[in-house]
């Protein structure tokens, strides 16, 4: 369980989080999405007790991260973004060390289990410094899972993993997410769509939107998008299509195709088709796309274009 | 408390994974062994001409103390600074470990390492005792070692504290070394500026490390004030470390 209320974090004069509030229940997998510098890592570092917020409150696994930090840390598994590991240590010794810090009764057994879970049993006796990037990521994950935490916080867990491992990772996360709480950050939108129960999109330290992936898509899709490819004078056709009522955001792509959107309930496709046949164009392709989470993301986190004020000369 | 031991154990093992620690241990023991052989030879020659004195272990430990001043900075420089640099501090600070457990564990690991080296150097005392009849002054020998252990503990604690202030181990090394040179030599100089006011001179003399070892512990004389001096240095070093680690969170 995670409950965040009005969380604010300043790094010196720069405000990284602006009064963030959200909640993650037990048995929920939450996806944290946002462009670089949005504040994902900062939020996670506060939730794991690495650093305190400037103001606001965060309850993790039933404890306040400020006042009962140790109790929180006992119950949280954390994979930091940079995957810090001791390169000069042997894999299983490192995991045993982490297990001992967490007072696990059977460290050896837990180490073996965790290694098995991330498919790294073979490299148990090797040095961490000799592992590949993806393997390091898996050891970082094993370290986060070793004490079967109530709350799992993963900062970009799938970075650097091969496709097979990504599938494995998602399986592990879903498995854990059944009874526990998982908060993960990612830049891969399809991933969030596939495994998260809820997606929180943040930008510049503020929550932009928070919903299930399905709802997000339904709520934000303005309409359908049509891609059209014809043989003939595309510019002329474009001008004609623009006249059709209900056509929005018409543009021609560099590959010669045309693209436009229409609102649901105002299907303009028959009329467009008529224009094409009457005008003597040969239609090569007409396909309809739904807006993806990707489009929604780009739309929501788009930089506000600020027109610079004219400089006055003195 | 268990966490202190877990961290100390990792740190201790870590020394044996790095060539630097081996080089330092080997260098220390090699130099001390050389000094031991030279004074042993002196004692044997005296004995040949009749009489003479057994080898004074205090003389070896005096050198051990000088060598610690130069080697401890290298042993402590990366203790916490490197965890900062590589980011592994994030693992430790998000595990259920208190800041003081982390710092004391780090210090204890380095202390156990030096204790191992001191343990090996004990061979010199055993050999000296074996060769002399009726043996060497054992009370004096024990007191000399006790003082040496306290010095090592104090220097390591200061080094650990300074290591927590930096991200860069070279910076930690030089600052630690500079502090040791001050405590060893430079702090004694102002004492001579106050010939008319011996009280002020006493303060500076009290701060100087050697004044708590050379003619006290190492001569078989134990003063409580010397023990307090070393325990205070340990407390100051560890407190600096804990404060530095804690303040990192607040940045
Ligand atoms: N230790 C720090 N000191 C100063 N500023 C920081 C620090 N860490 C992060 N910031 C700033 O806080 C803001 C949020 O950073 P954060 O690392 O949380 O972003 P993020 O969402 O994790 O981005 P990314 O997708 O690149 O990982 C950024 O503007 C960043 O420059
Ligand atoms: Mg980040």
In this complex, which of A50, A88, A143 lies closest to B14 when CB atoms are compared? A88
- Does the domain spanning A220-299 belong to CATH 3.30.70.100? yes
| Chain B: closest CA distance from residue A65 (Å) | 11
Per-residue pLDDT reduced to its tens digit, A218-253: 665 556 778 888 887 778 888 888 888 878 788 888
Best probe of the A interface among B90, B109, B250, by most A CBs < 10 A, is B90
- Does the domain spanning A2-211 belong to CATH 3.40.50.2300? no
Percent with pLDDT over 70 in chain B: 100
Domain membership of residue B105 as a residue range: 2-249
Tell me, in angstroms, the distance from the centre of ligand 1 to residue A205's CA: 10
Per-residue pLDDT reduced to its tens digit, B46-66: 888 877 777 888 999 999 999
Q: Identify the pLDDT of residue A303.
A: 58
Using DSSP's 3-state secondary structure scheme, residue A131 falls into coil
ipTM here:
0.93
Tell me the residues of chain B between 13 and 72 that have a Cβ less than 8 Å away from chain A.
13-14, 17-18
Per-residue pLDDT reduced to its tens digit, B66-104: 999 999 999 999 999 999 999 999 999 999 999 999 999
Q: Identify the pLDDT of residue A305.
A: 45
Instruction: Write out residues with Cβ below 6 Å of ligand 1.
Output: A 11, 14, 16, 34, 36-42, 81
Q: Select from B151, B138, B150 the least CA-distant residue to B57.
A: B138
Residue A139: pLDDT band with limits 50, 70, 90:
very high
Instruction: Say how many domains are in chain B.
Output: 1
Which are the contacts of B198, defined by CB distance < 8 A and separation ≥ 6?
A: none
Omega before B119 within 30 of 0, i.e. cis = no
Asked if pLDDT for residue B251 goes beyond 80, the answer is: no
| pTM recorded for the entire structure | 0.86
Using DSSP's 3-state secondary structure scheme, residue A282 falls into strand
The residue extents of the domains of chain A are: 2-211, 220-299
- Distance in angstroms (rounded) separating the CA atoms of residues B118 and B123: 9
């Amino acid at each position: 369980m995670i409950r965040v209320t009005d969380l604010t974090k300043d790094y010196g004069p720069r405000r990284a989080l602006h009064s963030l509030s959200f909640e993650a229940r037990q048995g929920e997998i939450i996806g944290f999405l946002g462009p670089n510098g949005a504040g994902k890592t900062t939020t996670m570092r506060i939730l794991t007790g690495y650093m305190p917020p400037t103001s606001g409150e965060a309850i993790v696994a039933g404890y306040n991260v400020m006042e009962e930090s140790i109790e929180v840390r006992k119950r949280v598994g954390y994979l930091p973004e940079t995957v810090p590991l001791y390169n000069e240590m042997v894999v299983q010794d490192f995991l045993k060390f982490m297990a001992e810090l967490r007072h696990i009764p059977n460290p050896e057994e837990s180490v073996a289990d965790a290694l098995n879970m991330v498919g790294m049993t073979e490299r148990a006796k090797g040095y961490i410094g000799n592992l590949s990037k993806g393997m390091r990521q898996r050891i970082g994950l094993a370290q986060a899972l070793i004490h079967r935490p109530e709350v799992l916080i993963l900062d970009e867990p799938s970075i650097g993993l091969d496709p097979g491992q990504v599938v494995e990772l998602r399986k592990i996360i879903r498995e854990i997410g059944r009874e526990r709480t998982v908060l993960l950050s990612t830049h891969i939108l399809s991933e969030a769509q596939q495994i998260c129960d809820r997606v929180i999109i943040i930008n510049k330290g503020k929550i932009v939107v928070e919903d299930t992936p399905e709802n997000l898509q339904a709520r934000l899709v303005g309409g359908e998008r049509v891609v059209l490819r014809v043989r003939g004078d595309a510019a002329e056709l474009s001008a004609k299509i623009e006249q059709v009522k209900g056509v929005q955001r018409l543009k021609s792509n560099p590959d010669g195709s045309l693209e436009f959107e229409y609102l649901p309930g105002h299907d303009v496709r028959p009329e467009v088709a008529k224009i094409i046949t009457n005008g003597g164009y040969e239609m090569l392709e007409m396909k309809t796309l739904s807006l993806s989470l990707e489009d929604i993301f780009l739309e929501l986190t788009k930089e506000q274009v600020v027109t610079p004020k004219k400089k006055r000369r003195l | 408390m268990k966490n202190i031991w877990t961290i100390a154990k990792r740190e201790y093992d870590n020394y044996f994974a790095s060539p630097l620690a081996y080089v330092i241990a080997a260098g220390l023991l090699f130099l001390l062994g050389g000094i031991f052989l030279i004074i042993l030879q002196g004692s044997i020659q005296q004995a040949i001409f009749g009489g003479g004195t057994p080898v004074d272990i205090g003389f070896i430990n005096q050198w051990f103390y000088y060598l610690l001043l130069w080697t401890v900075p290298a042993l402590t420089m990366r203790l916490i600074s490197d965890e900062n640099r590589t980011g592994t501090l994030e693992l430790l600070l998000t595990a259920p470990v208190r800041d003081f457990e982390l710092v004391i564990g780090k210090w204890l690991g380095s202390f156990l390492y030096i204790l191992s080296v001191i343990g090996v150097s004990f061979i010199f005392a055993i050999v000296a005792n074996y060769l002399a009849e009726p043996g060497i002054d054992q009370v004096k020998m024990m007191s000399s070692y006790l003082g040496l252990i306290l010095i090592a503990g104090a220097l390591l604690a200061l080094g650990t504290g300074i290591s927590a202030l930096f991200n860069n181990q070279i910076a930690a090394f030089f600052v630690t070394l500079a502090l040791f040179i001050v405590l060893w030599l430079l702090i004694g100089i102002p004492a001579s500026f106050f010939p008319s006011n011996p009280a002020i001179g006493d303060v500076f003399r009290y701060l100087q490390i050697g004044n708590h070892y050379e003619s006290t512990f190492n001569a078989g004389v134990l003063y409580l004030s010397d023990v307090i001096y070393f325990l205070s240095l340990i407390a100051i070093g560890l407190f600096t470390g804990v404060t530095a680690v804690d303040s990192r969170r607040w940045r």
